[in-house]
Every structure is written in structure tokens, then in C-alpha cells.
A and B are shown apart, each in its own frame.
Chain A
Amino acid sequence: MSGPVMDPRLAPPFPKAALPILQNTQLRKNVAHATDVIQTKRNRLVAEKTDWQELRTSAAAIRAHVLANLATYLDEFEKKCTAAGGVVHWARDAAEARQIIIAILQEEQATEVIKIKTMTSAEIQLNPALEAAGIIAIETDLAELILQLGQDEPSHIVVPALHVNRQQVREIFARRMGLPQLPDDPEALTAAARTYLRKKFLSVPTAISGANFLIAENGSVAIVESEGNGRMCLTLPRTLITLAGIEKVLPRFSDLEVLLQVLARSATGERLNPYNSLWSGVVPGDGPQRFHVVLLDNGRSEILGRKVERQTLQCIRCAACLNTCPVYRQTGGHAYGSPYAGPIGAILTPQLEHMRHGQSLPYASSLCAACYEVCPVKINIPEVLIDLRAKVVDQEREEVKRWTDPMYMGMKAANLVFASESRFRLAQWFGRLGLRLFTDKDGWIRKLPSLGARWTLSRDLPAMPDQTFRNWWAEREGRGGKEAR
């Protein structure tokens, strides 16, 4: 099976990418089931927090404060991390980050590297670059391992293999680990993964991680996880490379008090994540003796400069917005053509691509605002979606093909119509006349041309009534305001 296209520069537009997924009943069942399970847990644990709204407000305030003072906190992090024995690298874009990481690994003469789940490494397309440099990346997160062995791609920020069920996992493990008799119960599957990974943990001396948070005041890095694979990658190897977006910084250690609470409850429906790892630089004789942090910009400072969109960077990658999103629930993550799926992906991806790719993503939402309601750092995703749509339309305004785009021309025409009462009346009159051509004898429209066909794909439309409200009102006024009945 060849994996879905997860590079926003190559992926088809969202509506097209969604089509094969909508036909995949098994995948949609898996996604609906998994998101239901996580959401139920999340809702229960949020409900037990009587101060949940205050926690959200604090978390949002901390993140907004960081973004307003990002340069200061990044400088502080670099100083403190360096003083603790870490080496800090700055990467302007994905290519630079890949170069830095590969150069470090080559210096280490690494042929293999173990990885903790990091969406940022997927953002910079790290694994294919490592492969091209002759370095084998081994994903150690259970879900990432399933995807790697199944040659599949992540469909969720927190639980990347949520679209795969355990019978499918069994099939992948049996085939790729050479275990034809493997049963499909969870214990047997995790035991197989453990045996497979344990050898790697004990033998591979280099590791790559992402970061949940960088702490400015002491140069620490924080990672939360559920399986303990992260703890192994962070402690056993000789050399550790951490890749983190520049927005991941927090001012103080004590800010974790707020953020770890909202993150665990929002992401996995737990009071606290099972493993919370925090480390500062290098400690002689204990843990990795060489530690590198690669701070990645890749479009982030551009986002930082925009008034409405800046809040995108408040995200702590909990994926609560994915689990609650009625669009994501139908399509899963692959339709978004990016490691960042769901509502947050719909606003983050096109911005990371400087609005040159992924322009269909801001439209992959019904603007129902369920995402905003659950966001633990209060990102007003619908507001950002609408702002990005305006940017996409501003691009369309410059394109020659707009003249033949029915949506664009329809919007321009409607604007002219809405600017005048008489034009509006005229449009209603012509509209009724036009729709009559498509109205069946029983007063219903079942098939429309052009854009209308997208509506009648699954929905009938009642014929336009003979009398508009305004005409009824005018007639009634003519009778001295009396009801006609």
C-alpha cells in the first residue's frame, strides 16, 4: 500500500483528497470510534475541573505572553541551555533544519537513529532526508512504529495511527516482524512491539526527539508521553537531538503547572501524562553526553507578525480540536495533506507554506466553532480560518482564471445585487424565473447545473415561492397593515 501524500506542496486539494477516504468505511469507522473514546475521556476529566475556564484563561495568557516576548525568551533559553551543556542551533526553514540534523548525525557516524514521535520532524520531512543520507530512522512510539512498518502516514497529532484498528495492526506486525502466528489482542501486539524496539533502544546510540515545551529560565526541555519509549530515547543514547518550533518556549518552570494540566486533559483525557520528562543540558555520567537543540522557524516568525493569525502559535498540539471537529471525524487526517490535520492543521499548514500551498485547507471547515470551544489555549480557530480565506480570495483577485470561476463571479455579482434594493428585487425575480426551468411538477428541484449541482448532489431544494417576504409585506401595507388570512 502506498501512503497518502502528506506534503502540502504535492497534496491534492482537500475536497479531492477527501473523496477516496469517504469511500473507506473501515477507516471512517476507526476514526469515529477512536475520536469518540478520546472525547468521552476528555469531557469527563474537564468536567471534574471546576476551574477549567480559569485554567484555559491562564494557559492562553501564558502562551500569548510568550508570543509577545518571543525573542527575549528564546535568547534566555539559548543562554541557559548552552550554560547547562547543550548546543543550540537555529534553523530558518525545513531544509536548514534537515542539514543541521544530518550533519550532527554524520559527525556521530550514525547509521541508525531512534526517534520519539515528533510532528515537527514530519513537518520538515526529516525521515526521507535521513534515508537519502544513508541513516535509518526508527520510530519508537507504538503508533508511529505501526505507520512506519505499514508504510502509512500519521492521521492525528496525538494518536497518529488512530485510523488503523488492531486487526490491521496485527496484520502489519505479522508481516513486517515475521510473526505469522501473532494474535490480535492488545497485550500480544504491545509485547511484539516491545521485543522489536528493545533491541533498538539498547543498541542505537543516537536519538531524535521533539519537544512539548522549552523552559526559558533554566534551559530545560519537557516531553510528555504515554509509553515510556520517550524516556528510553531521552536517557539511553550517547547523543540526543531535539527539534522544536521556536514557539514552544515557556518563561518559567512553574508555567508547566498550568500547561501540563490542560494538555493532559485535552489530549488524552488523563489528569497527567504517564511520563513527564524534563532535562537540562548534559549531566556527566548520566544520560546523553551530547545534546543538541534545533530551533525551527520555518514560517513561524511570519505568522508571529500577523495580528489575527498570531494566535495559531499558541497551540500546544493537544488535538482536542481534531477530536471534536465534525469534518475531521468524517475524513480523518490524511485528507489534510500535512502532518498537521484537523482545524489546527487547516490554519497552520497554509501559513507554514507562506500561503503558497494548502489554500483549500481554510475552507475545510463548516465554521461550527466546536474547535474554539474545546481549545485549552483559546485559539479562535474560526476567526483565523476566515482571515486566511480572505487572504486566499485576495490571491484569486489577481488571477486571470477568476473570470471563469463560478464561485468568484457569483460572489462578485451577489455583492452588486446586495448593494441596491431594486437590484435585489430584480435578482429575486430573475432567480425565480431561472429556477423554474429546473423545478419538477411537485415543486421541488432535484438537479441543478454548475455550482448548484454540488448542492443537489445529496439535497433537494424547494422551488422558490411565488411571493417574496418583501412583496407580501408591501401588499399587506397596501391593505393598511392587515393580515391577508
Chain B
Amino acid sequence: MINSYFNLSNIVIYRILMAKKIIVILITTFTLIANAHAGSDGELVLKKNEPSKIKDCSETFNKASFALNQGLDKIIFKPVSSVYRVLPSPIKTGVSNSLNNLSNVVTIPNNILQGEFALAAVNAGRFIINTTIGIVGLIDVATYLGFDEYVKEDYGQSLASYGVGPGCYLVLPVIGPTTARDTIASLTNFIGGDAWYNVTVKNDTHYFTDIDYYASRVTAGVDFRAKNFDSIENLEKNSLDFYASVKSLYLQDRQQRILNSQKIIETQDDSDWEEIETQ
């Protein structure tokens, strides 16, 4: 009787805490959205995501996380990726392809959220073909068939496309650089927005376990590190301020992903260049 009373009260406390968490998240999200002025045209999105304008509100915390992540990189990611990068190309391509294929389960709902219905259909077709004919995504059959180049989308990009500003720049332990908006948006993955998380961690499907999910996340980290191995080493060696370099590169990359553009004239403010006359 007493046990069941405690169990019941634990459940009640847990639910209250969860509800409180969700309310905090919702309030923060709506505050961010309220700041968005409902504007979502390209120029406004470009301005809001301008890297030099994004504030580093918790710099001390961020720098501590950055140092921790550098330590983890030296102990785990760098040694593992230095071995991974010398594996035969077909193995690396297969791993990279299957990770890309898996990311479709987040990209497709975000294509829909951004109103890109045709693209959502193309990516759904890509996912079905690559998962079946492409042997769980190891071979990118869809690209051979002439599908357009695959572009990943996430919930942060969808929020940004609605005009939600990035908020402060953050560096999270293990996860790395992000922004307040993208951190909040990424929680969607854990409340049903990521089908891969749902079938591995959230629900007991008997086919997958938690380990499958976490292994895929770690492999994605190693794959990224290996692909950028020389660039990261070079950047660290030649930077006056490595933390500031990583912040700038991350935010520039994020800006062009949000705008779905690599075109220089769309993502760069040229006014500063125009002032400099040397000829």
C-alpha cells in the first residue's frame, strides 16, 4: 500500500516536472517566435542569421564546453577518425551513404514543414529506393538514377525559415556548436520527430536497440571528423583564436543551410569589401 502510494506520488512528481519542462520550452520557443515578426522573406532570414550579429551570451560556459570537446576530440574522435579515413573508399562511402539515408527520416518532415512538398516526395522516393535496392542505404542508387543532390534539413532550419531568429550562440558538451533556436528545435527529435529515434530508443520494436541509435550518432561524428581531418588540423594550427574561427565557420555554414544556398552573393554582405580600395 505504502509502496504503491510512493510509486503514485513519484509518477505525479515526474509528470509535474515534465510538464514544467515542456512549459519552459514552449515559452522560450514562443518568445523566439514572437521576436520573429512573422517575417520569413529571404532578406530577413539572411539578416537574422548573419554570423557576426549572433551574440555569444554565455561565452565562459561555451569556452569551457569547447575545451572539453577539444579534449574529447584528442582522446576519441581524432584517433578513431585517423584510422577510419584510411579505410578503403567503398567502405567509407557505404557508411556515409547509409548515414545520409537515415537522415531522410528527419529531412522529409522538415521539407513538409518548409512547404517543399515536391522535395519531400523526391526524398521519400530516395529513401525507399536506397533502403531497399540500395541495401539499407549503403549504395546511393537514387543518385545513379538521376535524383537531385540530397540536402539535409532539420527542425532548426524549419524554425529559421518561419523567421525565428537564432538567439544566442551555444557550445554544448559533446554535441558541439549550436544556437538557442537549434537546441530547442532539436528536442523535437526526442518527442517523436525522428523516426529513427522512435524505433530505437523511444519504442521497443524488438528489431533495434538504444545502442543502434547512439552508434549511428557516434559514427556520424567520426565520419564528419574524418572528412574534415586535414582542414580541422590546419585551422587549429593556423588560427589566432581557434574558438572564434570555429564559431564563425559553424554560423556561416548554418546560414547557408538555412538559406539553402551556397551562392556567395546571397550569403555575404559585400558592403565592407566595397570600402576597401587598393588599386
State yes or no: do A and B come from one complex: no
On B, residues with C-beta under 8 Å from A are none
